[in-house]
Structure 1
Amino acid sequence: MGEGNSNLSSKWMEGSGPYSDIVISSRIRLARNLSGYPFPHVANEGQAKEVYELIKNALNEQDALEELNELDFMNISDLSALDRQVLMEKHLISPQHMKPGYSKAVSLSNDEAISIMINEEDHMRIQCLFPGLQLEEALKKANIVDDYLEAKLDMGFDEHMGYSTACPTNTGTGLRASVMLHLPALVMTKQINRVLATLPQLGLAVRGIYGEGTEANGNLFQISNQITLGVEEREIIKSLEAVTKQLIDQERHARKLMLKDRQKNLEDKIYRAYGILRYARVISSEEALNLLSDLRLGVDTEIIEEVESKILNQLIVQTRPGCLQKMEGREMEAFDRDVKRAKVIRESLN
């Protein structure tokens, strides 16, 4: 992974795709395990290495799919702590996969739309990450990769229970589908708690930008399915997509009301955020995320016309601690990161 901003962008940050004014990204993740081998958390070094080699060989075979020919296979232990942190901040590996361990790896496509984690919680986690609301497209791509690997490897599967997974909540299809939503108007109009409170009743989980245990900073919310057993893949996708479209309608309605009833206040909030982001010399991670959220609302409501949403999507990630240090080429103290963060934002917006 090289220096500069170019390597800190991924396909999901493009700001394209359906409903991209509210849906930042769509993610499909398939949990798969090899038959006859213990799950990674109970495997010994020898067993983990066998799994690692079997998957690596399958990914490297000459008749590999076009999607797999462009994959870059990386052993987690060969990466620096900073490179691992950058991969996590870009949502390409999990926080758990950052820690070095027995034969852990990640395989990434050139545009980083496909990432395959090896020996994380499961032997394999196949992930596809697309911009906007593209759950169907992401599932199609994930299934192409999955079908190829299933033809090469003996997967743990039971006719009644489905795919064997380390966590019982993934048993069945092994599918976790999620969308990242930007919902600032629902937050500002104090409707967000009421809206999100209904989601667990629909079998959906709500988390922050980096998943379980993280807060919804920057008005970014991750919505995902909780149930995989006894539900078909298409059903999971259809259900999540239907709820997502309801949330999109509610957010758009809240934006219209704000533009109608308190336009000057909204414009003031957005232009103040824009001014701080363009001229600040020191800015914290949390403040940056919140101000970028305000600015993005301004772009999506066409109050601000000269900024691309793609730049704002990239800044969500590029202002994280690991990415800032990667750009600088060295480890930095918190204050130095705050100075660097302000500089990166200024240069991106000016």
Structure 2
Amino acid sequence: MTLRSFMQEAVSPWMKNEGPDADIVISTRIRLARNLENVPFPLVAAEEQLQSVYTGTADHFDQRSHRRFGTFSMLPMQSLAGNEKRILVEKHLISPNLARENQHRGVLLSEDESISIMVNEEDHFRTQCLLSGLQLEEGLKAANTIDDWMESKLDLAFDERRGYLTSCPTNVGTGLRSSVMMHLPGLVITNQLNRIIPAINQLGLVVRGIYGEGSEALGSLYQISNQKTLGNAEEDIIKDLKHVVTQLIQHERDARRQLQEHSLNQLEDRVYRSYGILSYSRRMESKEAMERLSDVRLGIDLGILPEVGAEILNELMVMTQPGFLQQYAGMSLEAEERDQRRAALIRERLLMETTQEESDGGGDE
């Protein structure tokens, strides 16, 4: 399989860098936590109760078509290989917790992978919508559309005073977690982000790494999400998050402008060094790859590397993860082999950009 054909199969729509403010906001995620009425939550449910939830969900929704999102397919965790689960985690379609489970767990996926519904994770259902760029309102509309579709078939646990009932008390109420993944290299390089994060936390929001709670912030990628769900309307949660994200976007743009005006030589050196290392390295660990790709993406956005497509960070931050590397290689790989394959994949992806640039240039002569 060629890299181009592999990318066409592997890349989800949110990776394609087409949404608003996509030079800074990589993606928007809306997640709704829901449970069935009169069924114990997954953390305390008996096996036969979990089986009933899973089977009932599959009966209602597996291979069923939605007018907007197409056909949904149920992927049972117990039928997936370890690497297949890992890929779903790397694409942010399921959580690491769900990947560790087997019996009576699964995920419903829409055709374009913009909607995923985890079944029997911490809650009976966790519906997630992923979009490119800053699209919080659009994401909420999409998630609510699927929520209404599910509620037409299922009796969900809802209390008139408390709202939707969930396993974790912090999700009670709307059950809504909204988040945006942001690329903030300007604020990282200028050492401003450590000052900004405490202020964000004081506003009831939380800043996490690329894979959410407990994960490391790699490649200047951060997730900003709401913490409170009880006592706040969905629209207010979205509004508050968007207000903070919009301010962060402006701070990041200001930081990038400062770098261009006062440290252009150092900035260009940083970008070209990372581009050169990515272009010629024969082994590359995951953490270094993310940092180098972050530098290259910054160079693209600031016009230092205009010949390279901006979607390259979005694609490679997923495709250079262990699951994808092994899928592309068609075999299980040890850590050292993954480092070698990661470097080779990055070199091949960058070569595609060079080949495309030369082809476009040749056509103008």
In structure 1, the residue corresponding to 2:6 is in which secondary structure?
A: coil
**C-alpha displacement of 1:61:** 7.9
Counterpart of 1:273 in structure 2 is: 274
Counterpart of 1:25 in structure 2 is: 27
Q: Per-residue displacement from partner, 1:88-147 (whole Å, max 9, x unpaired)?
A: 011000000001333101111122111010001100000000000011111111111100
TM-score by length of 2: 0.93
Counterpart of 2:72 in structure 1 is: 71
In structure 2, the residue corresponding to 1:112 is in which secondary structure?
A: coil
Counterpart of 1:326 in structure 2 is: 327
Counterpart of 1:189 in structure 2 is: 190
Would you say 1:157 and 2:162 are equivalent positions?
no
Name the amino acid aligned to 1:118.
Answer: V
- 96-105 or 243-252: bigger deviation: 96-105
- What is the correspondence of 1:259-298 to structure 2 with a 5 Å cutoff? 259-298=260-299
Counterpart of 2:11 in structure 1 is: 9
Identity %: 52
Name the amino acid aligned to 1:107.
Answer: L
The whole-number CA distance in structure 2 between the counterparts of 1:4 and 1:83 is 15
TM-score by length of 1: 0.97
- Conserved 8 A contact 2:54-2:120: yes
Counterpart of 2:168 in structure 1 is: 167
- Conserved 8 A contact 1:117-1:124: yes
- Conserved 8 A contact 2:63-2:71: no
In structure 2, the residue corresponding to 1:217 is in which secondary structure?
A: coil
In structure 2, the residue corresponding to 1:40 is in which secondary structure?
A: coil
The whole-number CA distance in structure 2 between the counterparts of 1:32 and 1:318 is 31
**C-alpha displacement of 1:197:** 1.2
Count how many residue pairs are aligned between Structure 1 and Structure 2.
348
The whole-number CA distance in structure 2 between the counterparts of 1:297 and 1:128 is 27
The whole-number CA distance in structure 2 between the counterparts of 1:231 and 1:98 is 31
Task: Note closer, same or farther for the CA distance 1:61–1:216 as it changes in structure 2 (3 Å cut).
Answer: closer
Q: Per-residue displacement from partner, 1:187-216 (whole Å, max 9, x unpaired)?
A: 111101001111111110110001111111
**C-alpha displacement of 1:45:** 1.2
The whole-number CA distance in structure 1 between the counterparts of 2:201 and 2:161 is 26
In structure 2, the residue corresponding to 1:216 is in which secondary structure?
A: coil
**C-alpha displacement of 1:71:** 1.4
The whole-number CA distance in structure 1 between the counterparts of 2:208 and 2:327 is 27
Counterpart of 1:349 in structure 2 is: 350
Would you say 1:116 and 2:117 are equivalent positions?
yes
**C-alpha displacement of 1:8:** 2.0
Name the amino acid aligned to 2:34.
Answer: R
Name the amino acid aligned to 2:348.
Answer: E
Counterpart of 1:246 in structure 2 is: 247
Would you say 1:48 and 2:47 are equivalent positions?
no
In structure 2, the residue corresponding to 1:152 is in which secondary structure?
A: coil
